[in-house]
Amino acid sequence: MTEGRTAQGETLLYLTDEQLRQGAEAMFFAYRGFTADPDRILDGLCYGRAHHRALHFIHTAPGTTVNNLLNILGVTKQSLNRVLRTMIEDGLVESRVGRVDKRERHLYLTEAGDALERQLSDAQRMRMRAAFRDAGPEAVAGFRRVLEAMMDPEMRRQYQRLREGRG
């Protein structure tokens, strides 16, 4: 029972309420940092975090339908429509009627949309790159493993589907 003893004595330390509480606080503070840089950029323009999220996932999955995006973002049609409409009007997003199913609208970034997406993502990635570099590859693998385990099953499926669609 060496395994068991070790587990209780050391390894399970990370499951105490205090450790879990610290984990929650880490999530809170880190998420603030995670969104801070793009938010700062968007402050100047008349866009918000909701626009960033839409841009990100349209970039990730060009040609996605409105319904699909709805599921990924987890918001209502009306909420999404508001941000989508302004970005279409401003020429950042293009909405094309579907060929096979004409009810659907497929979403693409225009050149301007792509430029803004890149600007926002670059700002965000710069911070993540620094964090990943500081923490090292082992830590990053653990980071990903814990985050994935923390997702709702439905979201985990969405996440994995997006990953598979790329490299």
Partner DNA sequence: CAGTTTAAGTCAGCCTTGTTGACATTCCAA
Partner DNA sequence: TTGGAATGTCAACAAGGCTGACTTAAACTG
DSSP letter string, 56-67: HHHHHSTTEEHH
Q: What are phi and psi of 71, to 5 degrees?
A: -65, -40
Q: Annotate each residue in 37-56 with x if it binds DNA (CB under 7 A) or - if it does not, as one string.
A: ---------xxxxxx-x---
Instruction: Answer whether 35's CB lies under 8 Å from 19's CB.
Output: no
**Window contacting a second copy (CB under 8 A); options: 23-31, 77-85, 88-96, 98-106:** 23-31
Cα–Cα distance, 43 to 2 (Å, whole number): 56
Q: What are phi and psi of 98, to 5 degrees?
A: -65, 145
Residue 110 interacts with a second copy (CB under 8 A): yes or no:
no
Cα–Cα distance, 53 to 80 (Å, whole number): 10
DSSP 167: -
Residue 148 interacts with a second copy (CB under 8 A): yes or no:
yes
Position 56: which residue type? Answer: H
Residue 105 interacts with DNA (CB under 7 A): yes or no:
yes
Q: Annotate each residue in 83-102 with x if it binds DNA (CB under 7 A) or - if it does not, as one string.
A: xxx---------x----xxx
Binding residue for a second copy, selected from 45, 97, 115, 146, defined by CB under 8 A: 146
Residue 35 interacts with DNA (CB under 7 A): yes or no:
no
Provide the minimum distance between the beta carbon of 109 and DNA in the complex, in angstroms, as a whole number: 15
Name the residues that contact a second copy, by CB under 8 A: 11-15, 17-34, 36, 53, 56, 60, 74, 121, 124-125, 127-152, 155-156, 158-159, 162-163, 166-167
